[in-house]
């Protein structure tokens, strides 16, 4: 009897030793797990060790069902090597469930393995999701273990819990008070900082600096309050400690960015950048590089800190305002990055690295071509160390005569251009070199023809039309031209599109009209090159014309092209890039100016299946010719000899650009066959349509094909026309899918980003 009793006492003592060892091991494993309940390196290991030891200690008395729950949660949410201890915990927990008697050391081991796995979770459904899941797996063990304690011990544990809750309240309340009392000041500081960032990126530097000063002071006061000694107790409370750190860091970085931006912005005087006396001060442009780079460094650091501080558990209103500030900082960084690229690349465009010669083409949209219109006038703009001069100009029809004397012009490419437009012999008729809707391609062919006539190679091409000339005169000032009168921003576009023909209606007056037109365009160009304008304001006001394709610029130098594409000047035909694309390009085939009276209306209806990317679409194009049948010279409403077209008629060669396959087409209800070709990696479907004066022709096209699955992405490319296109795009999902994507879009569209439509069940 005494011997058996001694063996049993030794067995119980061994279990206790094993349990203590497991608890100690769990505490050590927790301490080195890398969890950050407080975000305080000194205290986090202590909290992790205490938490692990507490759960494992209570697991000794916990029910086996709660241990299975902990093991199941641990296994389900673990991956990688962490899955090994989690799976082992599940095997031991299930095996333990079939034992007749409970084994406390096994309870402790299952809890240690399962809890250890959960403390290495790293998934981010939302901030703190892994911590919540870990606590959720352990709570049943804690409750079950607590119930298993003796009443006296349980009462002591509950009293300790109540004391801990009261201590947490005492530690947290000062931070809550500080957050409430500083909310208004933080709101004011963030509001001032947002306004300042907007003004700085808009070029209003002096006003932006004043608001940055006020914002920096608001943030300084708020930071001092949130980080005061009497809020330091919150650092001892899990989760709340992270909130305090995030808020203090967020407000501190807000002050740092406003303070630094205020200092650096004093060196960025964008308003002083002027085009004056025929040039731009390149030294002043280059002097902006350092301050802009410094501002970008400050904004990048602020963006990084605010992203780390961002937390779904942060104190609501303040967190939201800091997130808003971070979004504004991201937008400001984009604007500053553009400024950096402009400062870096624009000097070379202006001749800092050698003299540049740019071909200036004035388009005549009443006789449409793919890029806008035929070339009615040209000039050579020379850039040398920031100074711009118009060195030669004239009627490109003179090129035609010179080429004829040489036996015609020659083009070596691009092959895609020759394949589509070679049939029209544009190399013999330089006014027609703008068939392609892609400026880089047109610049290439213009350069070839210009060089063939014995001129030096051009470095790029600037494209203007009546709308852009009118906008430029708003800055350069009106010009008086004998035969036209005063050209102003209000009358220039109308005069160049239509009015000139009303002033010179007779056939015998057309030579005089062209001479006056040449004089007007030369005077407008010289007015610009010799005027004085604010560069930033000019760029801002011309932006809509850039987007609509009325003002374009391309450089043949590879180092310039990224900037031109970024600001939308490049005039490059957009790629479909796996999505859908639509462009309707019409070109005048009657050799008249009737396109000044052409109203194009496009209805594009799309059905999209997000599951497989299948697109079924219809394009309805309405072409209304409002040109008169009399009262204007034949050059306007007549057609080429032998056409047989009545006066006022329009004859169009049109092309539809799309990645989709044509399945059918009708013109006014009659089936037609469209010619399929390729350009820019797209399908092009082309045909002819004749439209009499006062008549509307209706083209209906059915398309189908597959694009990238998921969201529907549509790129619209609009041709510059005298009368802006009317465009309606309607997108709906296939059965079972819905979207709110119904909208009417008007030009400017050419440089618009891809339109994205998202679907849901």
What is the tens place of the pLDDT at every residue in 709-740? 988 999 989 899 999 998 888 888 999 888 86
Contact 130, 150 (CB under 8 A): no
Based on the domain organization, do 84 and 130 belong to the same domain? Answer: yes
Residue 746, pLDDT score: 47
Phi, psi angle pair for 242, to nearest 5°: -65, -40
Q: How far apart are CA 191 and CA 200, in angstroms?
A: 14
Confidence of residue 272 (pLDDT cuts 50, 70, 90): low
Residue 750, pLDDT score: 42
Residue 236, pLDDT score: 64
Q: How far apart are CA 181 and CA 569, in angstroms?
A: 50
Confidence of residue 301 (pLDDT cuts 50, 70, 90): confident
427 inside domain:
yes
Residue 296, pLDDT score: 78
The residue among 731 and 224 whose pLDDT is bigger is 731
Q: How far apart are CA 702 and CA 635, in angstroms?
A: 36
Residue 602, pLDDT score: 94
Listed residue (702, 659, 704) closest to 679, CA to CA: 659
575 inside domain:
no
189 inside domain:
no
Dmax (CA) for the chain in angstroms is 138
Angle formed at CA 128 by CA 125 and CA 132, multiple of 5 degrees: 95
179 inside domain:
no
37 inside domain:
yes
Phi-psi domain of 647 (left: phi exceeds 0; alpha: psi -120 through 50; beta: other): beta
Average pLDDT, stretch 467-489? 86
Based on the domain organization, do 245 and 115 belong to the same domain? Answer: no
Taking only the tens place, the pLDDT of each residue in 61-89 is 888 788 888 888 888 888 888 888 888 88
Please write down the long-range contacts of 752-757, taking CB distance under 8 Å and 24 or more positions apart: 752/547, 752/716, 754/577, 754/579, 754/713, 754/714, 754/715, 755/713, 755/714, 755/715, 755/716, 755/729, 756/711, 756/712, 756/713, 757/608, 757/711, 757/712, 757/713, 757/714, 757/731
Helix/strand/coil for 372: coil
Cβ neighbours for 79, distance < 8 A, ≥ 6 positions apart: none
The answer on pLDDT for 536 being more than 60 is: yes
Confidence of residue 682 (pLDDT cuts 50, 70, 90): very high
Based on the domain organization, do 338 and 373 belong to the same domain? Answer: no
Average pLDDT, stretch 317-340? 72
Query: Quick one: tokens of 48?
Result: 């992790």
User: How many distinct structural domains can be found in the chain?
Assistant: 4
Burial 743-758 (b: 16+ CB within 10 A, else e): eebebbbbbbebbebe
The residue among 745 and 167 whose pLDDT is bigger is 167
Cis, peptide link before residue 45, omega less than 30° from 0:
no
Tell me which of 290, 322, 349 is where a domain ends. Answer: 349
Based on the domain organization, do 365 and 473 belong to the same domain? Answer: yes
Tell me which of 149, 177, 212 is where a domain ends. Answer: 149
Q: How many residues does the chain have?
A: 761
Start-end of H helices in 42-150:
44-59, 64-77, 83-97, 104-118, 129-147
Per the structure, the complete domain to which residue 329 belongs is given by 202-349
Tell me which of 326, 349, 372 is where a domain ends. Answer: 349
Cis, peptide link before residue 748, omega less than 30° from 0:
yes
Based on the domain organization, do 553 and 437 belong to the same domain? Answer: yes
Phi, psi angle pair for 666, to nearest 5°: -135, 155
Listed residue (44, 67, 64) closest to 55, CA to CA: 67
Q: How far apart are CA 346 and CA 341, in angstroms?
A: 8
Query: pTM to 2 decimals?
Result: 0.72
Based on the domain organization, do 344 and 360 belong to the same domain? Answer: no
185 inside domain:
no
Confidence of residue 3 (pLDDT cuts 50, 70, 90): very low
The answer on pLDDT for 674 being more than 90 is: yes
The residue among 667 and 759 whose pLDDT is bigger is 667
Dihedral over alpha carbons 314, 320, 322, 323 (to 10 degrees): 100
* Helix (H), strand (E) at residue 244: helix 240-265
Confidence of residue 373 (pLDDT cuts 50, 70, 90): very high
Q: How far apart are CA 274 and CA 281, in angstroms?
A: 8
Based on the domain organization, do 562 and 599 belong to the same domain? Answer: no
Confidence of residue 101 (pLDDT cuts 50, 70, 90): confident
Assign residue 491 the CATH number of its domain: 3.40.630
- Helix, strand, coil abundance in the chain, percent, nearest 5: 55, 20, 25
Q: How far apart are CA 92 and CA 108, in angstroms?
A: 11
Q: How far apart are CA 91 and CA 89, in angstroms?
A: 6
Based on the domain organization, do 225 and 370 belong to the same domain? Answer: no
Based on the domain organization, do 650 and 591 belong to the same domain? Answer: yes
Phi-psi domain of 569 (left: phi exceeds 0; alpha: psi -120 through 50; beta: other): alpha
Cβ neighbours for 560, distance < 8 A, ≥ 6 positions apart: 345, 348, 349, 460
Highest mean pLDDT among 104-108, 162-166, 529-533, 611-615: 611-615
196 inside domain:
no
Based on the domain organization, do 501 and 641 belong to the same domain? Answer: no
Query: Quick one: tokens of 203?
Result: 């070029």
CB atoms within 10 A of CB 320: 12
Based on the domain organization, do 116 and 49 belong to the same domain? Answer: yes
Bridge partners of 275? 280, 533
Q: How far apart are CA 407 and CA 683, in angstroms?
A: 34
Bridge partners of 704? 616, 661
**pLDDT averaged over the chain?**
81
Q: Which range (181-185, 330-334, 562-566) has the least confidence?
A: 181-185
Q: How far apart are CA 329 and CA 629, in angstroms?
A: 58
Using a pLDDT cut of 90, give the percent of the chain over it.
Answer: 32
Residue 204, pLDDT score: 57
Based on the domain organization, do 292 and 259 belong to the same domain? Answer: yes
Average pLDDT, stretch 638-666? 96
Assign residue 648 the CATH number of its domain: 2.60.40
The residue among 483 and 309 whose pLDDT is bigger is 483
286 inside domain:
yes
Residue 527, pLDDT score: 73
């Amino acid at each position: 009897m005494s011997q058996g009793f001694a063996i049993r006492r030794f067995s119980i003592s061994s279990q206790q030793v094993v349990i203590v060892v497991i608890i100690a091991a769990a505490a050590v494993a927790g301490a080195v797990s890398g969890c950050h309940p407080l975000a305080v390196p000194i205290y986090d290991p202590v909290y992790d060790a205490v938490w692990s030891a507490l759960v494992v200690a209570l697991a000794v008395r916990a029910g086996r069902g709660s241990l299975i729950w902990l093991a199941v949660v641990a296994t389900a949410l673990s991956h990688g090597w962490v899955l090994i201890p989690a799976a082992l915990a599940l095997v031991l927990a299930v095996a333990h469930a079939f034992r007749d008697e409970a084994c406390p050391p096994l309870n402790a081991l299952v809890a240690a393995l399962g809890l250890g796995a959960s403390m290495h979770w790293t998934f981010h459904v939302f901030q703190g999701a892994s911590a919540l899941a870990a606590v959720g797996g352990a709570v049943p063990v804690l409750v079950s273990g607590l119930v298993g304690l003796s009443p006296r011990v349980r009462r002591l544990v509950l009293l300790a819990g109540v004391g801990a809750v009261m201590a947490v309240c005492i530690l947290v309340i000062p931070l809550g008070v500080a957050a409430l009392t500083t909310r208004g000041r933080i709101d004011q500081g963030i509001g001032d900082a947002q306004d300042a960032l907007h003004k700085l990126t808009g070029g209003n530097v002096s006003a932006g600096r004043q608001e940055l000063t006020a914002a920096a002071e608001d943030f300084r006061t708020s930071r001092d309050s949130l980080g005061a000694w009497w809020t330091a107790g919150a650092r001892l409370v899990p989760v709340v400690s992270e909130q305090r750190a995030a808020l203090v860091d967020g407000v501190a970085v807000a002050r740092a960015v406003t303070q630094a931006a205020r200092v650096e912005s004093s060196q960025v005087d964008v308003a002083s950048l002027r085009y004056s006396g025929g040039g731009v001060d390149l030294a002043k442009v280059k002097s902006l590089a350092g301050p802009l780079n410094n501002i970008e460094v400050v904004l990048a650091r602020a963006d990084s800190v605010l992203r780390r501080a961002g937390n779904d558990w942060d104190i609501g209103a303040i967190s939201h305002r800091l997130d808003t500030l971070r979004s504004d900082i991201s937008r400001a960084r984009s604007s500053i990055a553009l400024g950096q690229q402009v400062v870096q690349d624009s000097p070379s465009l202006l001749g800092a690295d050698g003299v540049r010669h740019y071909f200036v083409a004035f388009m005549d949209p009443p006789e449409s071509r793919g890029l806008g219109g035929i070339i009615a006038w040209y000039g050579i703009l020379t850039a040398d160390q920031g100074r711009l001069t118009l060195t030669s100009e004239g009627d490109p029809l003179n090129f035609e005569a010179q080429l004829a004397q040489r036996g015609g012009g020659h083009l070596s490419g691009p092959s895609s251009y020759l394949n589509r437009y070679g049939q029209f012999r544009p190399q013999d008729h330089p006014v027609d070199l703008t068939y392609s809707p892609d400026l880089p391609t047109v610049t290439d062919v213009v350069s070839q023809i210009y060089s063939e006539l014995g001129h030096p190679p051009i470095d790029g091409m600037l494209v203007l039309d009546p709308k852009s000339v009118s906008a430029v005169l708003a800055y350069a000032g009106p010009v008086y031209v004998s035969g036209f009168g005063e050209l102003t921003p209000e009358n220039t576009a109308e005069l160049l599109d239509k009015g000139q023909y009303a002033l010179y209606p007779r056939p015998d007056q057309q030579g005089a009209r062209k001479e006056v037109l040449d004089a007007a365009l030369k005077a407008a160009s010289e007015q610009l090159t010799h005027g004085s304008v604010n560069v930033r304001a000019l760029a801002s006001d011309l932006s809509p014309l850039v987007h609509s394709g009325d003002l374009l610029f391309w450089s043949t130098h590879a180092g310039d092209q990224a900037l031109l594409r970024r600001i939308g000047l490049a005039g490059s035909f957009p790629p479909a890039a796996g999505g859908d694309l639509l462009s309707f390009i019409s070109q005048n085939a009657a050799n008249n100016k009737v396109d000044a009276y052409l109203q194009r209306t496009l209805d594009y209806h799309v059905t999209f299946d997000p599951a497989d990317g299948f697109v079924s679409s219809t394009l309805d194009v309405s072409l209304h010719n409002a040109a008169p049948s009399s009262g204007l010279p034949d050059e306007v409403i007549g057609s080429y000899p032998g056409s047989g077209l009545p006066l006022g008629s329009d004859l169009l060669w049109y092309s539809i650009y799309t990645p989709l396959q044509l399945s059918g087409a009708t013109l006014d209800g009659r089936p037609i066959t469209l010619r399929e070709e390729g350009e820019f990696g797209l399908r092009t479907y082309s045909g002819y349509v004749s439209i009499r004066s006062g008549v509307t022709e209706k083209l209906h096209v059915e398309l189908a094909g597959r694009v990238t699955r998921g969201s529907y992405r549509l790129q619209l490319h609009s041709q510059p026309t005298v009368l802006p296109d009317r465009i309606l795009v309607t997108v709906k999902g296939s059965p079972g899918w819905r979207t709110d994507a119904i909208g009417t879009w008007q030009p400017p569209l050419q440089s618009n980003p891809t339109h994205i439509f998202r679907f849901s069940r």
